Structure 1
Amino acid sequence: MNLKLFFFSGMIALLSCNINDVSAKEYKISKGELLNKIKGGWAGQVIGCTYGGPTEFKWNGTMIGEEIPIPWDDTRMVWYYKNSPGLYDDVYMDLTFVQVFEKYGLDAPDSLHAKYFANAGYPLWHANQAARYNILNGIMPPESGHWKNNPHADDIDFQIEADFAGLMSPGMVNAASEIGWRIGHIMNYGDGVYGGIYVAAMYALAFVHNDIEFIVEEALKSIPRQSKYYQCIADVLRCYRKDPKDWKKAWFEVQKKWSADTGCPDGVFQPYNIDATVNGAYIVIGLLYGRGDYGATIDISTRCGYDSDCNPANAAGILGTMIGYDKIPAYWKQGLDKVEDLNFAHTEMSLNKVYEIGFRHASEMIIRNGGRLTGDIFTINYQQPKPVPLEVGFEGLYPVERRRIGSNLGGKNREISFKINGSAFVLSGRAVKNSDRPDSILEIEVYINGNLHEVAKIPTNNRIRRHDLTWNYDLTEGENNITLKAIKIPEGYRIDATDVIVYSRNRPGKLVYY
């Protein structure tokens, strides 16, 4: 990067048109206010994530009651930084991509982002981990995130780490979408990508608009109307307009209509849900029903449950961008000064460093997208949102069974066989080693109806593990025989096969009660 850090003027942003005039072609913003909003976005993520930290996935399929206190004081952030830094995975994941842009420029190819992501030292889960395994085994983006290669493709992963794309694209929502489309397909597909694009779009719009309802609705134009994600968020907007005072009504509508998980093997027929769509709805419920109140926004997003640290992190970051760092209430910034110079886990970046880097990237993006700098004032070439292409993961597949296999391969047990009745399956499980053995990569052959489907490599090392043992989404509907055979499982190692999730192309009928 050859841009020198600008001198940060503290003057108030100057806008060349009404703040929510969507016909506007240009917006003006001072250097100082641009920095202020970037700081508000990054700091907001940390604040929201910290507040929701104690509740993450402890309330699944239920709200966190208002009678349940969620602690907040000036020790919360520094405690997590020092004792549980993995809480901030939705921040340091963003920083991986920020680091690549910083080192290689804003035209850094997807392959570099994928390389840094896959080889980073931090642990991953769900779509991120499945993508890491794919990349390390030669399946590069966008195939690394495709649902036929990644059973977690609709999960929340890119949604929680897409903030950077909007924060580097002030007022330029389509530029944010272009970045999101490329990087989102490293680990996700379809609705999983749309979640990240939608979040990034809200960030981009929050630089130039001060009406949160407008931001929520306008950003939705960035994703296809036919997508499940769009339809879910549109339902939340309808609930809000019908009754803007009761967020719990919207929560019940989301739970009733959108909470059934199709993709994630950990969530199908379980109360657990890490799907991007339902958790995206909880971001929006916080933003809408919080009505610009910072504390209410964070608290509502948290009390919706499920991924209740990541959702308020996105909500607090978007609102923090809209109002700017200086206007985040002092109550919510207490303790922030204790961590702003501390590097996030697995990075060499602190909040203070990313404020500076984020400002440089946003400045460069403004210029390369037709804007200009005159003195201390940037003129942003505003972009009207355009939808990205439609793609649908797990199309035509319906979960019909979750069954415990509960067997293992290793020692004298060299084969596992079971039958399914359907057209697709995912088998969950893991590789295990005795404590005195080094990590190894175990191998099994997977046969479907007597034909070799794949030779699966299953690492014992958790960082590079295969998230699920094996899967296939292209079977002929009907009875299918699955056999796993041990090829390389030495003494002291084993592979546990836990649950099989079965899919059919025949939509199940509704339950009838007598």
Structure 2
Amino acid sequence: MPLLSKLTIYLFLLSGFSTFAQKKRMPLANQTIRLTTDALKDKIKGGWAGQTIGVTFGGPTEFRYNGTFIQDYQPIVWYDGYLKKTMLANPDLYDDTYMDLTFVEVLDRVGLDAPVDSFAHAFAQAGYNLWHANQAARYNILNGINPPLSGHWRNNPHADDIDFQIEADFSGLMAPGMPNAAILIGDKIGHIMNYGDGWYGGVYVGAMYSLAFTSTDIPSVVSQALGAIPPQSQFYQCIADVIAWHKKYPADWKQTWMEIQKKWSEDIGCPEGTFAALDIDAKLNAAYIVLGLLYGEGDFRKTLDIATRAGQDSDCNPSSAGGILGTMLGYRKIPAFFKMGFSSIEDMPFKHTSMSLNKVYTISYKHALEMIKRNGGQVDDQGVTIRRVPLKMVRFEQSFTGLFPVAKTPFSQGSGKTEFSFDFTGTGFSLRGVAAKKRTDLPEATLEADVYIDDIKQETVRLPTSFLTRRYDLCWKYELPNKKHLVRIVVKTPNPDYELRTWDYVVYSDKPAELPTDKRK
């Protein structure tokens, strides 16, 4: 059968799945659901607690099991006092939480209609460390590339990475039973650092959180939330596959993991993840969230365990799964084993924020009441009445269109050199590296370099040595003519105490690499 025909049939089937999910499971317009004040507060607290417990649980294995799962015989540690110890000793682990809290703080300070610039500059200027799409967006914002361009794939090689997916929790927790409202808030924030599948990850997670307030049916929540994602997107197709594989192999999460690995483990955007076992792509890690939720069957420990043992970003994935399930269960029903010592961290502000868990419980509850009233619901002394409407599908976006990684070449340069060059044949490239001090006692500085392609100057880049403000990738360019190109980088501000170090570059073409043929035949 021709490829186009296969694709058409596949999209038709996926569209049918989405329509079925919406017709059979989506609430009709003007339906309402009632939650008591106590239940609403308990679910909000359960969401934040589940997220914090999950990231702590999976922290020690983060990106240590790439392209493999963690075997059953390997214990995952948990004990009374572990939460506080981790919060104090490894505060950078909680990047998914302190980014969430930054957005919550802006909403509280500026209001629910806060402009996107308020969110963008709040995290760009914060004192905490960031990675991948978040750090690329931070650099863009600090250097004049503002949202939504800061998250677009042409300006951010990490546009499909997991970043907004791991920090969209707040949007669902402030929009109980109102996934459209959660998605609307996440639209402007998610495009600060992501685009396409990277944005869809946050749309999906936020919608699942929101739906978890009004349903205890995990397969229903997982399927309903997917109705917000366009069926032609790879994100949708990946999660739809996980749902189908769960039905085919209902008692074997490892078999579904294998199917995910075979079909969806290819990364084309992130320069660190291409041609490597590491995969921080949103859709793959979202598949592991869904894996934990479906096979966990409502059991908190089992859910965290599977989402962690799936590997890759194994702290963020159980964090999302734990937060969604914690919202569904409510804080009181999270097992006491996982709440050991939890009260001792609830007043601790997260790194470089003024926000603690106790503070965010209160603020999220306040925001939830405002959102309920804004969206046609009612609030009284006993509780809330939430107006439920059909879930709307968001617009279609796709990153890295027409790009196929065909090579990754080591390119280790440094030792004070002020000019580098390499050639490649293809339609684009991305060069990894860093501006660095030669001695640790030196102050931070910023190098400037001109980037030339085929002897035509493309840009002058500022390259801070500071980890906080660094450019995550040295330079990149896509959508070039498919031919041989020469890339040349010239340091404009040479200094004997600082240097530009390069590591490797990815080459892209307009079609996949071909297997070598035996020309002797």
TM-score, structure 2 normalization: 0.93
Matches within 5 A, 1:258-337: 258-337=264-343
Matches within 5 A, 1:76-475: 76-408=82-414, 410=416, 413-435=417-439, 436-475=441-480
| Distance in 1 (alpha carbons) for counterparts of 2:143 and 2:208 | 35
* 1:377 Cα deviation from its structure 2 partner: 2.3
| Distance in 1 (alpha carbons) for counterparts of 2:381 and 2:124 | 41
SS at match of 2:353: coil
* 1:181 Cα deviation from its structure 2 partner: 1.1
* 1:22 Cα deviation from its structure 2 partner: 2.8
| Distance in 2 (alpha carbons) for counterparts of 1:486 and 1:71 | 48
In structure 2, give the amino acid aligned to 1:189.
Answer: Y
Is residue 480 from structure 1 mapped to residue 489 from structure 2 by the alignment? no
| Distance in 2 (alpha carbons) for counterparts of 1:93 and 1:480 | 39
Q: CA RMSD in A?
A: 1.5
SS at match of 2:468: helix
- Equivalent residue in structure 1 for 2:75, among 56, 69, 73: 69
In structure 2, give the amino acid aligned to 1:495.
Answer: L
SS at match of 1:179: helix
Q: 1:148 to 1:68 in 2, by over 3 A?
A: same
- Equivalent residue in structure 1 for 2:495, among 487, 490, 494: 490
* 1:21 Cα deviation from its structure 2 partner: 7.2
In structure 1, give the amino acid aligned to 2:81.
Answer: T
| Distance in 2 (alpha carbons) for counterparts of 1:22 and 1:280 | 24
Contact 1:37 1:325 in 2 (8 A): yes
Output one character per residue of 1:388-443: Cα deviation in whole Å (capped at 9) or x when no partner. 11010001100000001111273xx3321110110010000000112232111101
SS at match of 2:183: helix
| Distance in 2 (alpha carbons) for counterparts of 1:233 and 1:511 | 34
| Distance in 2 (alpha carbons) for counterparts of 1:511 and 1:200 | 45
Q: 1:369 to 1:511 in 2, by over 3 A?
A: farther
SS at match of 2:80: coil
| Distance in 2 (alpha carbons) for counterparts of 1:195 and 1:388 | 12
* 1:511 Cα deviation from its structure 2 partner: 7.8
Which one is further off, 428-437 or 166-175?
Answer: 428-437
In structure 2, give the amino acid aligned to 1:434.
Answer: K
Number of aligned residues: 494
| Distance in 1 (alpha carbons) for counterparts of 2:437 and 2:138 | 21
Contact 1:173 1:384 in 2 (8 A): no
Matched residue, 1:4: none
Matched residue, 2:4: none
Matched residue, 1:502: 507
Contact 2:26 2:390 in 1 (8 A): no
Output one character per residue of 1:341-397: Cα deviation in whole Å (capped at 9) or x when no partner. 111111111111111111000110000111112331211111321111101000110
In structure 2, give the amino acid aligned to 1:498.
Answer: W
| Distance in 1 (alpha carbons) for counterparts of 2:206 and 2:323 | 11
* 1:483 Cα deviation from its structure 2 partner: 0.7
SS at match of 1:443: strand
* 1:512 Cα deviation from its structure 2 partner: 8.4
In structure 2, give the amino acid aligned to 1:132.
Answer: R
* 1:510 Cα deviation from its structure 2 partner: 5.9
| Distance in 1 (alpha carbons) for counterparts of 2:26 and 2:425 | 56
Which one is further off, 438-447 or 140-149?
Answer: 438-447
Contact 1:131 1:150 in 2 (8 A): yes
Matched residue, 2:18: none
Q: 1:365 to 1:304 in 2, by over 3 A?
A: same
| Distance in 2 (alpha carbons) for counterparts of 1:418 and 1:91 | 40
Output one character per residue of 1:279-313: Cα deviation in whole Å (capped at 9) or x when no partner. 01000000000011111000000000000000000
| Distance in 1 (alpha carbons) for counterparts of 2:363 and 2:494 | 47
Q: Percent identity?
A: 53
Q: 1:371 to 1:97 in 2, by over 3 A?
A: same
| Distance in 2 (alpha carbons) for counterparts of 1:20 and 1:38 | 23
* 1:460 Cα deviation from its structure 2 partner: 0.5
| Distance in 2 (alpha carbons) for counterparts of 1:173 and 1:219 | 8
Contact 1:58 1:306 in 2 (8 A): yes
| Distance in 2 (alpha carbons) for counterparts of 1:202 and 1:390 | 19
Contact 2:27 2:389 in 1 (8 A): no
Q: 1:512 to 1:296 in 2, by over 3 A?
A: farther
Segments of 5+ residues of structure 1 without an aligned counterpart are 1-18
Segments of 5+ residues of structure 2 without an aligned counterpart are 1-23
Contact 2:28 2:389 in 1 (8 A): no
Contact 2:448 2:462 in 1 (8 A): yes
| Distance in 2 (alpha carbons) for counterparts of 1:76 and 1:193 | 33
Output one character per residue of 1:132-164: Cα deviation in whole Å (capped at 9) or x when no partner. 000000110000000000001000000000000
In structure 1, give the amino acid aligned to 2:176.
Answer: P
